[in-house]
Structure 1
Amino acid sequence: MAELLDRPSSWMNFLSVGGLASLGISAALFQLAKLQDGRVFELDRAQLVETLAHIAQLEHMLPLLVAVRGRITCREPTTCQLNGASAVMRELVEEEVYFKEHPSGRTTQECFEVRREQEQREAFLEDRTGSIRLENLEHAAGLPGVMEVKQEFRHADLLQGTLLQAVLSKALKSMVRHGVRITERYLPADMTVTVVGELVADCVGSSVLGSRAAGPVAANSNQLTSQQQQQPSGSDRSPAAILAARPAAAGRDSALGTNVASAGNVSATATAVVAAGAELLGQAALQALPYTLRMPGRGPFHVTTLTLPQLRTSLERTSSIIRVFAWGFGLLGAVLVVRKAAHAYQRLQTHRRFKRLLASRGDNDEGDGVRGPGTCVVCLDRDSDIVFSGCGHMCVCNACSVNLQKCPICRVASRTIRVFRP
């Protein structure tokens, strides 16, 4: 009741700090949801490529934002230190762990980084039809969720030093070495992922492809030439040889069969060599396509284990969740602001009403707010018989003092004492 008598001194009494904070959080969340919707819109512009062999059909449209699914491979992968797995990139962090005792007796864990290693190799994305090079893979969104984590903890050898050294270290430094924690994050090779990025033509890759394809063909042609030179020529047979062969009519059929078999072996060998050359040429085309998938100057760059529809659904779900929280904080802030403003307006109206009532009775004193002796300043009806011990004002009656914690005149919080008049 006494709070209603206080006149709002400034416009700050009409504003709620918690409400304004909630409205600010709501605005920030709406901006974040809008940014997430923009990512979904940019992802819709990505051209889905079923296989890498279909990239040749899009060559006239390059550079182009595409989404390709395949396996991440590496020509010379690095080896992880903890589990020995083959990885395209890895990061190793070594931390020393200590137990620290505080003067209050509470024990906390302190970690200090002592070593960090980062290693990255040239990455490729390949499927059953070919492979393309990947650039700026470490800057792709979603990469932390794709990388695997391996952790190992090595306890400190407490018997390494003497017991006296351990006691002195604990007493003087109040920190005891617990061990070493090694954390290794790595991108394993041959992991199937979806990469969304900008596809460009790679001139270096095309020249490498030509050299790789020309090498097996030249080698096969050299092998064919050497084999043809080693074969004997049958067109230089002399007449004497022909006459000598005529009497051997009985063994002509068997000799003819032997010559046909040898000719068949030569042709089979040539066919196998040509097939091997074609297979090597196909493998060269599989190993390196003249294209590069890189981070676009403006647009999404994702590496994820999800497919393109699943990635889009995940982004939309995240945007919906952010928008729900934004609406919640917005409604909460609006309720707090309206409630505080309504409460302040009600206090202002109550103050004006009581001021008019006091003015009509002629008991209003603008100096210090003290009315005539013996009248309660709250109900303006009963006699005042309550004294506030902190300030000494006797201004309210016993019935009105039940809901008061402060003096309605000077606003000093104190105990109340009831006075009985003779």
Structure 2
Amino acid sequence: MLPWGGLSCCLSAAALYLLGRSSGRDADILKTATRVSQLKELAKLLDSESILPLVVAISGRVSSDTPITCEFSGLRGVVVEETAEQHFLKHNDAGSWIQDSALMLSMSKEVPWYLDDGTGRVHVVGARGATGFSLPVASEVFEESGRSLVRGTLDYLQGLKMLGVKRIERVLPTGTSLSVVGEAVKDDIGTIRIQRPHKGPFYISPKTIDQLIANLGKWARLYKYASLGLTVFGVYLIAKHSVHYIMERKRRWELQKRVLAAAAKRSSEDSEGPNERDDNDNALDGAKKDRLMPDLCVICLEKEYNAVFVPCGHMCCCTTCSLHLTNCPLCRRRIEQVVKTFRH
């Protein structure tokens, strides 16, 4: 049987190692990204840069010419997500009521937006697919159920009790400070955009570039140490299983040698001439056979058999192994009682 525990640890260690390498590689790429302190310098950099694509790290505040006014929070943002969940109690098979929810509505809005630092603008494209991009919760409202008595009775007959609707509003407000790492491009009319590179990381985060690099380096080290620990533990489990398997094989081989040696000895005794036997003494002949053949349990091949099965009367197992049997190994008859014998 394969040591699945050890193999699982080793596979998990390999996955953590790959994650650590990926985080470390992203940290190295962020270190080599061209940092732009003022957005007005990015246009000059694109005009003068001969090697494209150009991966840059910029910072600024979120702005838009057509911001969205949020319905519940009243904030003005550039990306808005609204969800509505119906919360209710459901009657289960055990006769109790458990709380559950179901998604009723999910809407998303986004308008063209850019980063502005007072010196220039850079439009951001494909922000939702960037690493580190998240929308903070701006509003969370729970509206209690206002169903009529008839509708509430119908729901109750169906095993439901409506509690209300939970509405959550997530917004990227204007004026939020963001750091972006991506590919900078300039179109024919002079508009500068930053987008996901064909190769390399694409980050949008409220953290600074230095904080992003430090965070990626920290996770890379954690993944590395976790991978090393799981590898050591997995190797230990595999080695333990291997040693146990080898010892078990050795024990069975030694038992097999003992049985074969006893059988060979008995065969050599049987091949001797009839003059060397006492054919008239059946009791002595039986005792000799008992001495030649080892009285081993047919199940574990370690202990002597000392359990008599009732009602068939066969004796071929030790009392320890007989506890796990329901039928006799020799005649397959059902065991009603086990009697322990004492041999002298």
Q: Give the shorter-chain TM-score range.
A: 0.7 to 0.9
Q: Secondary structure at the match of 1:114?
A: strand
Distance across 1 between alignment mates of 2:173 and 2:301: 83
- CA shift, 1:359, in A, is 2.5
Separation (CA, whole Å) in 2 of partners of 1:381 and 1:29: 45
Per-residue deviation, 1:56: 4.2
Q: Structure 1 CA distance, aligned partners of 2:302 and 2:113?
A: 89
- Residue of structure 2 in register with 1:177 after alignment: 162
1:151 corresponding residue in structure 2: 140
Structure 2 residue 316 is the aligned partner of structure 1 residue 395: yes
Change (3 A) 1:388 1:39: farther
Distance verdict in 2 for CA 1:96–1:351, change over 3 Å: same
Contact 1:52–1:126 at 8 Å: present in 2 too? yes
Equivalent residue in structure 2 for 1:142, among 132, 155, 158: 132
Change (3 A) 1:189 1:416: farther
Matched AA of 2:250? Q
- Alpha-carbon distance, 1:416 to partner: 5.0
Q: How does 1:16-31 map to 2 (within 5 A)?
A: 16-31=3-18
Aligned to 1:55: 42
TM-score normalised by the chain length of structure 1: 0.65
Mapped to 2, the partners of 1:393 and 1:336 lie a distance apart of: 41
Match status 1:377 vs 2:296: yes
Larger RCO of the pair (alpha carbons < 8 Å, separation 6+): 1
The share of aligned pairs that are identical, in percent, is: 24
Match of 2:252 among 351, 359, 366: 351
Letter in 2 for 1:49: V
Residue 352 of structure 1 and its aligned partner are, at CA, apart by: 0.9
Distance across 2 between alignment mates of 1:121 and 1:390: 87
- Structure 1 Cα separation of the partners of residues 143 and 252 of structure 2: 72
Task: Specify the code of the residue in structure 1 equivalent to 2:70.
Answer: C
The DSSP-based 3-state class of the residue aligned with 1:337 is: helix
CA shift for structure 1 position 363: 7.7
Which residue identity is paired with 1:153?
Answer: F
The residue aligned with 2:97 is 107
Q: 2 CA distance for matches of 1:175 and 1:185?
A: 29
The structure that has the greater radius of gyration is 1
Question: Residues 106 and 324 of structure 1: is their aligned pair in 2 closer, same or farther, counting only changes over 3 Å?
Answer: farther
Which structure is higher in strand share?
Answer: 2
State whether residues 138 and 169 of structure 2, in contact with CA within 8 Å, keep that contact through their aligned partners in structure 1. yes
SS in 2 for 1:51: coil
**Rounded Cα–Cα distance in structure 1 between residues aligned with 2:304 and 2:55:** 85
The structural deviation recorded for 1:312 is: 0.7
Q: Which has the higher helix share?
A: 1
Q: Does 1:295 align with 2:196?
A: yes
Change (3 A) 1:303 1:361: same
CA drift at 1:77: 0.7
Find the aligned partners of 1:403 and 1:375 in 2 and give their Cα distance: 17
Q: Secondary structure at the match of 2:257?
A: helix
Structure 1 stretches lacking a partner, 5+ long:
1-12, 207-289, 366-370
Contact 2:322 2:338 in 1 (8 A): no
Deviation track 1:88-146 (CA, whole Å, cap 9, x = no partner) reads 111111121221110202433332222222111111111132222222222221112x5
SS at match of 2:199: coil
Deviations 1:35-73 (A, max 9, x none): 222222322221111111322441311541110111111
Distance 1:321 1:389 in 2: 63
Q: Secondary structure at the match of 2:85?
A: strand
Q: Give a deviation string over 1:334-377, Cα, whole Å, max 9, x none.
A: 22222112111111101111121222233899xxxxx9599641
Q: 1:64-75, aligned counterparts within 5 Å?
A: 64-75=54-65
The 8 Å contact of residues 197 and 301 in structure 1, kept in 2 or not, is answered as yes
1:123–1:360: structure 2 CA closer, same or farther, 3 Å change rule? same
Aligned mates of 1:382, 1:298 — CA distance in 2: 68
